Amino acid sequence: MDFKAEYGSIVENDRSVQEVLLKGREFREKYIDPAAAGIDARMLLDPHYSPDDIMKKGCDYGFFSFPIPQFIGGGGRTILHSAVLLEELCSGCAGIGNIFGAHYLGLSGIVLSMDINKYDRFLREVVKGEKRGVPVIFSAAVTEPMAGTDVEDAELLPKARLMTSARKVKDGYVLNGRKVFISNGSIAHYNVVTFPLERDRPLETWTGFMVPAGAKGFSASRVELKMGQRAAHAAELVFEDCFVPAENRIGLEGKGMRMTEIVLGASRAPVAAIATGIARGAYERALDFSENKRSGGRRLVDKQWVQMKLADMYAKLRMARYSYLEAARFFDDSITSSLMGNKTIMNPVMKAFGILSNTGMGMKVTSSDGFKRMTTAYVERKIDTALAGRSLGLSSLSKFSCADTAIDVCMGALEIMGNEGAEERNMAEKYLRDAKLTQIYEGTNQLNRYAVYKHLIQRSWDRGQE
């Protein structure tokens, strides 16, 4: 693989990213490409089907513990690693790739919170399960029936029409309400959820919780029949007097929105990579089709209009890739390295956490509110507010631009293939169906444009006026 030609200096100079790309490509070619069309067709008839065999193969590649810190036994991979892996997987099938992507989203809510008690109790279980060949899957649940975009932005949350609530009781909390369109929600072993403790003061009381599958009062009541990315379940989660013990609260009360915005800064570049992978898959299918299809005694690719269309698609694909690579690297340089240390020197605080973790005394200490206040203060001190805002702006920019690009490139593939593009065997129509969802989840493209204005344009202008 010519890393410099396809990915530029960011990847050319990083052997660890090259390793991820090669593993992702091998996984795609061996397990995703042969099965993608069949799984997509099957799930149109049976949306509850899950490609468990392919997921189990992911254990052999370390894909489930991929972003978990190394002192817990995970791969210690960064946002940049996750993004390039997801592009590779989603160029084969975005539905299968998004199972891993949604899992990483759930994990990131724990990893970036630095709630070490959750590292010991839940992340370690992912690592152990993977070694046994048994995936332990996460989801993240934020969207509600009447509040989607609103619950992903601090300015909009106070106006959201919330239908969830958490009530503090002895030894824990009682959750009520519904979360909808939750990727992995019906197959996840653990669900990272956010609820307000006071519905009329959501911003001040927005709080994260860990809810395991099988918890009393919790159910995944429905799996949606989807147009695209069918292999990844989208489920409705129902909480009916669901008791969550206090030790399952993530971090401190009322810190949920701050953590949500940090997580979105981390997750939107990988979603942009998912969209780029879809665009790449459509482009590669169109190129192969045009090289093998003959028209008027000539190959289709020999026609100048096809060459121009392919060049346009290729240019958009390359620009999309550079956009998400920049956003992912910026997050790692400004956030990941501050919290965890760089890839050669682990942060001294993280070394101390490693020593403390997985001991009886350590578990008792890390579950206390005093320790959580200390780690929360550490996170807030280490994350520069301006850099976090810029990171969210860059990741939001990459998310909406790559999603829109994916639609354009998929439409280009259909134009080249003509009527044959609508045939399932050529996959072009599947890529278009898969691309549409990237404009909607992880914040609609409208919300992401708003984030770009707030964090990149408005702040830059305001600084210039000071």
Give the span between the Cα atoms of 126 and 114, in whole angstroms: 16
Q: Are 195 and 201 in contact (CB under 8 A)?
A: no
Where do the domains of the chain lie, and which CATH numbers do they carry? Answer: 3-135 (1.10.540.10), 141-250 (2.40.110.10), 256-460 (1.20.140.10)
In sequence order, which ranges of 112-247 are alpha helices (DSSP H)?
116-118, 124-131, 202-205
Q: What are the pLDDT digits (tens) for 314-331?
A: 999 999 999 999 999 999
Q: Are 88 and 24 in contact (CB under 8 A)?
A: yes
- AA identity, residue 412: G
Q: Give me the phi and psi of 321, to 5 degrees please.
A: -60, -45
Please report the pLDDT score of residue 381 as a whole number. Answer: 87
Direct distance between the N- and C-terminal alpha carbons of the chain, in angstroms, rounded to an integer:
48
pLDDT at 296 over 90: no
Angle at 306 between CA 304 and CA 312, to 5 degrees: 105
pLDDT at 345 over 50: no
Give the span between the Cα atoms of 306 and 287, in whole angstroms: 9
In the chain, count H helices and then E strands.
20, 10
3-state secondary structure of 230: coil
Q: Which of 176, 172, 177, 195 is nearest to 248 (CA)?
A: 172
Please report the pLDDT score of residue 357 as a whole number. Answer: 60
Least confident of 73-77, 88-92, 154-158, 458-462: 458-462
Percent of the chain scored above 70 by pLDDT? 93
In the chain, % helix, strand, coil (3-state, to 5) comes to 60, 15, 25
pLDDT at 463 over 80: no
CA 278 → CA 92, 228, 380, 415, distances in Å? 8, 11, 36, 16
3-state secondary structure of 55: helix
**pLDDT greater at residue 416 or residue 369:** 416
pLDDT at 276 over 80: yes
pLDDT at 208 over 90: yes
Structure tokens at 96: 């299968």
Confidence of residue 344 (pLDDT cuts 50, 70, 90): very low
Q: Strands 218-223, 234-245: parallel, antiparallel or unpaired by DSSP?
A: antiparallel
Confidence of residue 304 (pLDDT cuts 50, 70, 90): very high
pLDDT at 350 over 90: no
Q: What are the pLDDT digits (tens) for 25-78?
A: 999 999 999 999 999 999 999 999 999 999 999 999 999 999 999 988 999 999
Please report the pLDDT score of residue 359 as a whole number. Answer: 61
Q: What are the pLDDT digits (tens) for 89-117?
A: 999 999 999 999 999 999 999 999 888 88
Give the span between the Cα atoms of 272 and 119, in whole angstroms: 27
CA trace torsion 77, 21, 228, 101 (10° rounding): 0
Q: Give me the phi and psi of 424, to 5 degrees please.
A: -60, -30
Structure tokens at 118: 């959750």
**pLDDT greater at residue 297 or residue 466:** 297
Please report the pLDDT score of residue 461 as a whole number. Answer: 58
**Orientation of helix 94-111 relative to helix 428-438, angle to 10°:** 20
**pLDDT greater at residue 372 or residue 321:** 321
The mean of the pLDDT values for the chain is 92
Q: Are 235 and 188 in contact (CB under 8 A)?
A: no
Q: Strands 138-141, 190-196: parallel, antiparallel or unpaired by DSSP?
A: parallel
The overall pTM is greater than 0.85: yes
